Chain A
Amino acid sequence: MRTTARLLTGTALAAVSLGALASPAAHAAPTGDLGKLEVYPSTAEPGDTVTVNTTACGKKGHGIGDAQSLGAGDFELSPGTHKDVVVGRFTVPSHAKPGTYAIAVACDNGRTATGDLTVKHGSGHTSGGHDSGGHSSGGHSSGGHDQGHDVPSGHVKTGVGGSVGPDTTRIAAGAAVLAASAVGGVWLLRRRASGAQDS
Chain B
Amino acid sequence: MTDDTRAAAGNGTGTNAGAGTGAKGKGWGVAVAACVGLWLVQNGSAEPTPPVPTAAEAFAAGPHRHTDAAAAPLPPSAPVRVRIPAIGVDAPVMRLGLARDGSLEVPPAGNPNIAGWYKDGTPPGAEGTAIVAGHVDNADGPAVFYAVGSLKKGHWIEVTRRDGRTAVFTVDAVEVYDNEDFPDRKVYGPADRAELRVITCGGTFDEKTGYQGNVVAYAHLIGVR
Contact = CB atoms under 8 A, between A and B. Distances in A.
A130 B75 contact: yes
B129 A141 contact: yes
Q: Max chain A CB contacts within 10 Å: which of B48, B75, B120, B191?
A: B75
Interface stretch (A19-27, A59-67, A71-79, A81-89): A19-27
A180 B102 contact: no
Contacts of A32: none
Contacts of B190: 141-145
Contact of B127 (A134, A175, A182, A188): A134
A25 to B, nearest CB: 6
Contacts of B78: 99-100
Contacts of B137: 159-161, 163-164
Contacts of A169: 44
A100 to B, nearest CB: 4
B179 A155 contact: yes
B75 A100 contact: yes
B37 A177 contact: yes
Interface string B12-37: 00000001100100110111011011
A167 interface: yes
B141 interface: yes
A17 interface: yes
B126 A26 contact: no
Give the interface residue-count category, chain B: 35 or more
Interface string B33-76: 11011111111111111100000000000000000000011111
A27 B92 CA distance: 18
Q: Max chain B CB contacts within 10 Å: which of A27, A133, A165, A188?
A: A188
A53 interface: no
Interface string A141-167: 111110001111111111111111111
A6 interface: no
Given A21-B160, A24-B164, A156 B19 contact: no
B160 A118 contact: no
Give the interface residue-count category, chain A: 35 or more
A1 interface: no
Nearest to A119: B76
B130 interface: yes
A167 B182 CA distance: 32
Given A25-B166, A134-B76, A158-B199, 19 more contacts: A20-B163, A26-B164, A99-B119, A100-B162, A118-B75, A139-B127, A141-B129, A142-B190, A144-B188, A149-B120, A161-B210, A161-B211, A163-B138, A166-B47, A174-B36, A175-B40, A175-B41, A185-B30, A195-B23
Going nearest first, the 7 A-B pairs with the smallest beta carbon separation are: A174-B40, A141-B128, A159-B201, A170-B44, A178-B37, A143-B190, A177-B37
Interface of A: 17, 20-21, 23-29, 97-100, 102, 116, 118, 130-131, 133-135, 137, 139-145, 149-171, 173-182, 184-185, 188, 191-192, 195
10 contacts: A17-B162, A20-B162, A130-B75, A151-B188, A154-B182, A157-B201, A157-B210, A159-B143, A160-B137, A175-B40
Interface of B: 19-20, 23, 26-27, 29-31, 33-34, 36-50, 72-78, 80-81, 92, 98, 101-104, 106, 109, 118-123, 126-131, 133-143, 145, 160-166, 177, 179, 182, 184, 188-192, 199-202, 205-207, 210-211, 213-214, 225
